[in-house]
Amino acid sequence: IRAATALAGQVENVAAFCRDQQISRQTFYKWRKRFGQLGLAGLEQRSRRPMSCPGQTAAAVEELVLRRRKELLEAGRDHGAHSIHWTLQREGHADVPAPATIWRILTRHGAITPQPRKR
Q: Would you list the domain boundaries of the chain? A: 2-43, 59-108
> For the CA atoms of 109, 111, 112, 113, what is the dihedral angle to 10 degrees?
100
Question: pLDDT by residue (tens digit) across 21-54?
Answer: 888 889 888 888 888 888 778 878 889 888 888 8
Q: What is the pLDDT of residues 53-85, one digit of tens each?
A: 888 899 999 999 999 999 999 999 888 999 999
Is the overall model pTM greater than 0.75, yes or no?
Answer: no
**CA dist., res. 65 & res. 114, Å (int):** 18
